[in-house]
Amino acid sequence: MVTRKRHVGHIDTEPIYVGQTIRLLVLGALLFATFLFSFSIGRYGVPVKEVIRILLHKLIPIQQTWTTEMETVVINIRLPRIMMASLVGCALSTAGASYQGVFQNPMASPDILGASSGAAFGAALAILLGGSTRMITFAAFSSSLVTVMAVYFIAQRAPGLKVVNLILAGIMVGSLFTAGTSYIKLVADPSNQLPAITYWMMGSFSGSKLAQVAFVVVPMALGMIPLLLIRWQINILTLGDDEARTLGINTNRLRMIVILCATLITAASVSVSGMIGWVGLVIPHLSRKMVGNNYRYLLPASMITGATFLLIVDNVSRNLLAVEIPIGILTAFIGAPFFIYLIAKQEKTI
């Protein structure tokens, strides 16, 4: 009988039936519907049936019933953006859920180890030096990985509990990179560079290209696939190190793998989207409400729900006003009140 964890350190023997699988299928269907609907809305409307035909046309021969303008809008403008929003939402939610499990901390989020602060510093430095969009993305990705490597290096050499050391080192190193970013903003050209840095840090999928999608797909896959394969071990890790060791789990190695994978997908996400908060914190909690705490279902639910959520928010971002709203602002406006609601309604699910 498969058991469900009610909260860290306690196991409830309530059996998990096919209800969780059905919920995952429903969430998947909702994501698919949102994905298609996202193509049809915007300044230039495209009927859903034409969207389907245009997308299928790239795979199989279909008689053309759409205009060239429709195909340009769907393939060149909206497809990269929609794919990017889905991937980033999926990745941030996965990273958040993984960190919450490995650190046994309900407040853990993708930037707990300073990955976002490091990425912001790298992007700001690249903008200051006049780098291209590709260089900005690469600098943000590389700086994010370097930041987390520094955090892990410090935590391993500090006395005391390694998990606590990681969190404290993440706060310290993240603060240093935040200070560095602030200095770059201070010396940046206020006419061009400073607005570009500020806008990047607000988060946006505007101007997403298929080349950027191709850039992040590989590191995201390298991070998410192993997390999916070992998600049952994260269940055991949430019980505590002593209990996990009695079950034959190498906790240090497992924690290292989870942190590495979660960091990789966080760095890839932030490098192409900028600073998007709350997704990795709120969505795992929402997913727990729907499928419970068992990571066998929680991780896939977080992936699907995160992709759907960020797609919806991006649709609002680009259609609510005449001027696009940075997506990081919207996720904060939506995420903070919703998290307060979850806290008020929780039943000791963490």
Tell me the β-bridge partners of 10.
7
Distance linking the first and last C-alpha atoms of the chain: 22
Retrieve residue 182's tokens: 């602030």
pLDDT confidence bin for 6, thresholds 50/70/90: very low
Q: CA-to-CA distance for 280 and 307, rounded, in angstroms?
A: 11
Burial of residue 106 (number of CB atoms within 10 Å: 0-12, 13-18, 19+): middle
111: which DSSP letter? T
Please check the confidence at residue 243 and state whether its pLDDT lies above 90. no
CA 270 to chain centre: 8
pTM: 0.88
- Residue 181 pairs in a beta bridge with none
Specify the pLDDT at position 199. Answer: 92
For 10-19, the pLDDT digits (tens) are 444 344 457 8
Read off the tokens for 30: 């909702």
Query: Would you say residue 184 has pLDDT above 80?
Result: yes
Looking at the structure, give the CATH architecture of the domain made up of residues 4-298+311-326.
Orthogonal Bundle (1.10)
Number of Cβ within a 10 Å radius of residue 143: 25
Structure tokens at 31: 């994501």
What average pLDDT score do residues 159-179 get? 88
Distances (CA, A) of 67 to 43, 71, 73, 233: 16, 7, 10, 51
What is the reported pLDDT for 136? 93
157 versus 6: the higher-pLDDT residue is: 157
- The tokens for 5 are 């964890």
Characterise 114 by phi-psi region: left (phi > 0), alpha (psi -120 to 50), beta (else): left
Look at residue 12 in the predicted model and tell me its pLDDT.
43
Model confidence over 56-103: pLDDT tens digits? Answer: 988 888 888 888 889 999 999 999 999 999 999 999 999 999 999 888
Q: Mean pLDDT of all residues in the chain?
A: 87
How confident is the model over 114-164, as pLDDT tens digits?
A: 999 999 999 999 999 998 988 999 999 999 999 999 998 998 888 877 788
- The tens digit of pLDDT for each residue in 44-60 reads 888 889 999 999 988 88
Between 343 and 62, where is the model more confident?
Answer: 62
The predicted structure's pLDDT at residue 7: 43
The pLDDT of residue 239? 73
Query: Which contacts of 287-292 are long-range, i.e. CB under 8 A and separated by 24 or more positions?
Result: 287/93, 287/97, 288/349, 288/350, 289/342, 289/349, 290/23, 290/27, 291/20, 291/23, 291/24, 292/4, 292/5, 292/16, 292/20
Give the residue from 112, 114, 100 showing the smallest Cα distance to 7. Answer: 100
* pLDDT tens for each residue of 263-314: 999 999 999 999 998 899 999 999 998 998 899 999 999 999 999 999 999 9
Structure tokens at 122: 């790298």
